[in-house]
């Protein structure tokens, strides 16, 4: 398929559902060969792989050795990774004093640590190929915080700092690093919020929509469109930035 990413390999982590799956579809439409990551091989992974004519890429992003082995395998089989979209996430919610420390660190190790490991793993190949694109999916909660989500918010805030730092550090190598910070998006992750609030999913959607100036929560394909823009080889001189996709909610709280 012709497109701005024709001939390029894109690794999308956490791509078996939600924003990750929508991003895999969008990058495939732009011509990329997409490696679809999830923690393990599953029916959902196979479905997305078939839909985008891509590659199954199972690995647990909380396990550095699995991440490095996955990247080595993709490089050996396909010659190098041009685009990394770090979308994987693990989320639980609990008041600070009730959050088990082991689970708190699992959230941070998966979301922040996994992205660190993935960026390290793809960097040598991107440098050898003369550049690349890394897009990190963070969160509005990493900007404003959220009660009961200390681990998730802290991990996502850490990702913002990581992106800003790598944007400076890697620009001279032609590796452009940016982030997308979605607000409330209609993905399966909202089920965690609904359970924590003790309400049904439809009620959770309505509650969030009341505080969004656009009057609705976002859609995963809207986030994927912004990710695709940041992966465009023609988008240069743009690195270390965080783009908010939130229907105006952050601005509305200012």
Q: Which member of 90, 104, 116, 152 is catalytic?
A: 152
CA distance 58 to 35: 9
Q: For residues 10 and 233, is the Cβ–Cβ distance under 8 A?
A: no
Is residue 90 annotated as part of the catalytic site, yes or no? no
Beta strands 55-58 and 132-137, pairing class: unpaired
Picking from 178, 188, 252, the residue whose alpha carbon sits closest to that of residue 220 is 188
SS3 call for 196? helix
Q: For residues 205 and 190, is the Cβ–Cβ distance under 8 A?
A: yes
Q: For residues 145 and 160, is the Cβ–Cβ distance under 8 A?
A: no
CB atoms within 10 A of CB 56: 16
Catalytically active residues are 152
């Amino acid at each position: 398929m012709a497109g701005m990413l024709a001939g390029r390999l894109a690794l999308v982590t956490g791509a078996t559902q939600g924003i990750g799956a929508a991003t895999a579809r969008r990058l495939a439409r732009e011509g990329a060969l997409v490696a679809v990551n999830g923690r393990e091989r599953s029916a959902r992974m196979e479905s997305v792989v078939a839909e985008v004519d891509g590659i199954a890429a199972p690995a647990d992003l909380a396990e550095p050795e699995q991440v490095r082995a996955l990247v080595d395998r993709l490089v050996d089989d396909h010659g190098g990774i041009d685009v990394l979209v770090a979308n994987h996430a693990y989320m639980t919610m609990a008041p600070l004093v009730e959050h088990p420390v082991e689970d708190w660190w699992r959230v941070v190790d998966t979301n922040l640590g996994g992205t660190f490991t993935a960026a390290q793993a793809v960097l040598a190949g991107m440098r050898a190929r003369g550049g690349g694109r890394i897009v990190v999916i963070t969160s509005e909660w990493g900007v404003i915080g959220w009660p009961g989500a200390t681990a998730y918010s802290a991990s996502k805030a850490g990702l913002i700092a990581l992106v800003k730092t790598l944007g400076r550090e890697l620009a001279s190598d032609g590796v452009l690093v940016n982030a997308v910070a979605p607000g409330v998006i209609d993905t399966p992750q909202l089920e965690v919020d609904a359970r924590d609030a003790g309400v049904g999913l439809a009620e959770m959607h309505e509650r969030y929509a009341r505080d969004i100036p656009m009057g609705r929560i976002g859609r995963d394909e809207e986030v994927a469109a912004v990710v695709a823009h940041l992966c465009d080889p023609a988008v240069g001189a743009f690195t270390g930035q965080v783009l908010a996709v939130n229907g105006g909610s952050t601005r509305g709280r200012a």
